[in-house]
Amino acid sequence: MESKEIITHSAAETQQVGEQLAQRLPKGTVILLDGDLGAGKTTFTKGLATGLGIKQLVRSPTFTIMREYHDGRLPLYHMDAYRLENGGGADLGLEEYFDSDGVLVIEWSQWIADLLPADYLRVSLKRADQEDEATRTVTLTAHGTLFVQLVATLKRPADE
């Protein structure tokens, strides 16, 4: 399991990590996005959208389960599984999105843990501590073999 920690010091840097990643993602990519309230999940997803060339405004999909953006290099499917706490994930036809023409981002993936594909990226966002408002640890982990190289060669914002 290849894993990399990137410290970001602003929302812009977190977006930059997402943007850099998105430029290299193949179609059919599944990304699980973890993090507490305000950790930066939507911020990171905005970066992904930018990296895919999407100009539409990215908003949280909480009340819709899925938002789709089709104006980029690849479509972006942004899913929030929060409301699937009591099941129902199996009825969504997720397999179709796992092997899709685009990039699928899933928040609250713990509710559909038993439905996940073999290859996926996990992106976890964490605040450094209470005092520091603008520092986040972004941890990217490749599950399966497909994304190992990608994670290994991802640059930290300061390296660019």
Ligand X SMILES: Nc1ncnc2c1ncn2[C@@H]1O[C@H](COP(=O)(O)OP(=O)(O)OP(=O)(O)O)[C@@H](O)[C@H]1O
8 binding ligand X? (CB under 6 A): yes
Binding mask 37-76 for ligand X (x = CB under 6 A): xxxxxxx----------------x----------------
For 83-89, the CB contacts below 8 A with 24+ separation are 84/108, 84/111, 84/112, 85/111, 87/111, 89/115
**Among 42, 50, 109, 124, interactor with Mg ion by CB under 5 A:** 42
Q: Quick check: 42 and 13 in contact, CB under 8 A? A: no
Contact in structure between 141 and 131 (CB atoms under 8 Å): no
Residue 34 touching Mg ion (CB under 5 A): no
Distance CA 146, CA 160 (A): 24
Phi, psi of 157 (to 5 degrees): -50, -40
First to last CA, the chain: 25
Residue 3 interacts with ligand X (CB under 6 A)?
no
Using the rule CB under 5 A, which residue among 3, 9, 60, 144 binds Mg ion?
Answer: 60
Residue 139 makes contact with ligand X by CB under 6 A = no
DSSP 12: H
Nearer to ligand X by C-beta: 61 or 72? 61
Total binding residues toward ligand X, as defined by CB under 6 A: 18
Beta bridge partners of 136: 8, 127
Q: Which does 14 bind (CB under 5 to 8 A by kind): ligand X, Mg ion, none?
A: ligand X
Rule CB under 6 A: which of 99-128 touch ligand X?
none
* Residues at the contact surface with ligand X, assessed by CB under 6 A: 8-11, 13-14, 35, 37-43, 60, 134-136
* Residues at the contact surface with Mg ion, assessed by CB under 5 A: 41-42, 60
